[in-house]
Each structure stands twice: as structure tokens, then as C-alpha cells.
Amino acid sequence: SQGKPPLCQSQVICGLWSVLFCFFTVSYVRRTQQHQWRCSEVTFHCDNQALCEEWVQVTNEQLSLLTNRPKSLLVYINPFGGKRRGKRIYEQKVAPIFRLAGIATTVIVTERANHAEDHLKTEANLDKYDGVVCVGGDGMFSEVLHGLVARTQNDHGVDQNQPDAELVPCSLRIGIIPAGSTDCICFATVGTNDPVTSALHIVVGDSQPMDVCSVHHNDVFLRYSVSLLGYGFYGDVLSDSERNRWLGPARYDLAGVKTFLSHNYYEGTVTFLPAEDDVGNPRDKLQCRSRCSICQHNRSSKDTHSDVSEEKEKPGKGTGSGLLLEMYRLNHTGKSAFLISLPRYLLVCLV
């Protein structure tokens, strides 16, 4: 909520005398259907201006105590993502909400690929911001993620090329305003790809921790992954779709059909550690959620057997089981909710 300055105006009633009306308006978040949020207002009338000003002052003082809410944001806008509506979405739907909440913004419209990532790594003065906001699709989020993580590691002297390096958590949060083709990260974190809803989540200071997976090859860092790490079919779909970005979201359908009809197979070795007990079965249809009984059991079991040698825990030491496979696809998903935003043919192929 945000209290506006009180307003006073005179109004003539029945032509007999003039009455002074004082009122102030409070904006608040209202939850609607399909995980969407909307901004609503309620107006309070007071008998005199002093009382009105006192209410506004007290309201703003209480809001200032909410330290999790951002006061200054660095915003990157991708004007080419999705249907090329990123700049218009921000100016018409998001910027008014930020202004209403009293948030100062520095807006940068990207001019090329990796513009945001390069700016975050080298030029951006991150000390004066409470968060970074990206307006675009999943590619724009990936740019901001890579730039922010790389900047944090460089500032703390951490080598990203070392797979065993302990990364330093970023001090700034990333806000996502959906304006892309699929917006799967936004679906996975907010539950919808509505720009107004995402802006309101940012304003009230909501946060959602996310797991980040790093990919290395021969002690060289390649990429970070949050939603999907694919080898085979889905990787080919994304690679081929990049050549037809001018098609917008339809490029995924075209690339998907071409890749599916090519029916390519890939060789690979999957190494894993077999389970030591029979707690849980893939066919019991139990869903893994907060305080999952199976996960809790495995965690307690790991604590109990903490004396297991390091060689036994690492699959590369010969203790893990390995399978040489000819595979059509190998996917690792960080957030299962991303399936909501994928084209229908991909849902069939990924099941």
C-alpha cells in the first residue's frame, strides 16, 4: 500500500455554504484469479486537513519500515524479444506502478545480444541499487543472471572455471517482467506471465529462491542453467530456433517439427549412484513438495551415515553405475512448472 498526499477541495452544497473536504487515497494489492495481482485503491475522507495529513504521515512511516521493499532498481529492456513489445509493456504497465510506489529506476534499453550481461559485468554501479529488473523473455533473464553472478564472483575473487568452487551468493535480487516468447521462468516463479502481477511482486518485495546449475567442460565454465538443461532433441530445437527469431514464438513450432522429423540419436554415458533403500518408488505417484517425506528421510539418512568416504559419494571414482546409451533426448529441469509455457508438441515429446 502507498499513501498519497492529502487533497482538500471546496464544494458548495445547496448554494448555502462552502464545505471543505479532505481525503487521501491508499493503493493496495488485490489478488485475483489465475495467480494474477491487481492494484486497487481505497479513499478515506477526513473532517479536517490536520487529521488527514497525520494519517498519511503514519502510513508512510509504517511503509518505510519494510526493508525488503526496493527503493532503487536497475531496469534492462529487451525491445526485440517476443513480439517486440517489451518497451511498450514497461512504459504502459510497469513504470506507472513503480512511480506509484516511489521507486527510483535507471532504465537501459539493450541494443544488441549480451548487452545487459556485459554492462553488469563491467560498467554497472550495483552499490546504489536494491535489485535488477529484466523486461523480456528467458534469454533476457539469462543475460542478467550470467552478468550478475559473474560480477559477484569477480568482485570476491572466485574462479568460475573451477567446478568445485563455492560461489558467493548475489546480494541483489532479479525481477522479471515477462515480455518474451515463452516466459517459462516467470511461470515457474510467479505462476503467470502477466506483467502487472510481476511488477506488483517486485514492489512488495516478494522473493523466490532458485537453484542454479553450472555447466563445465575440461575445467572451463560454459553456462548457468535455471529452467532446462537439454542434450539432444530439446537442445536442437533451441539451437535451430535461433536462426528464425524473426518468426517470434512460431519459431519453436517450426524448429520442433524439423527436429522431430530428423529423428537424430546421440551417444552418451549416464553415471549415477544407485539408491541404498526402497523408500519411494517412481510408480507410487507421490509428488515431491515442501517437507516431502522421502526427501526428509534421505536427508536424515545422509546425516546418519556422514562417515561415508568422499570416494564413495563421487561417481567418477568407480562406485557409481554407468550406462552407455543411444538417446533421443536427455533433459534436466530445474523448475517443473516451466512446462506450462511450452508449445503443446513439446509437452508431448518431453513426457
Q: Where do runs of H (alpha helix) occur along 229-343?
A: 233-241, 250-262, 293-304, 310-313
Q: How far apart (Å, rounded) are the C-alpha atoms in residues 231 and 243?
A: 19
Radius of gyration of the chain (CA): 26
All three cell numbers of 158: 572466485
Residue 181 CB neighbour total at 10 angstroms: 22
Half-sphere exposure at residue 151, Cβ-oriented, CA atoms within 13 angstroms: 22
The one-character DSSP state at 91 is: I
Provide the 3-class DSSP secondary structure of residue 316.
helix
Q: How far apart are CA 93 and CA 105, in angstroms?
A: 15
Distance CA 190, CA 298 (A): 29
SS3 content of the chain, % helix, strand, coil (to 5): 40, 25, 35
C-alpha cell at 326: 543411444
C-alpha cell at 209: 529462491
Task: Give me the residue label for grid cell 562417515.
Answer: 307
- Active site annotation includes 138: yes
- Give the phi and the psi of residue 91 in degrees, each rounded to 5: -65, -35
The whole-angstrom separation of Cα 118 and Cα 114 is: 6
Among 47, 118, 130, 138, the one annotated catalytic: 138
Using CA atoms, how far apart are residues 87 and 81, in angstroms rounded to an integer? 10
Buried b (16+ CB within 10 A) or exposed e, 8-40: eeeeeeeeeeeeeebebebbeeeeeeeeebebe
Task: Give the catalytic positions in this structure.
Answer: 138
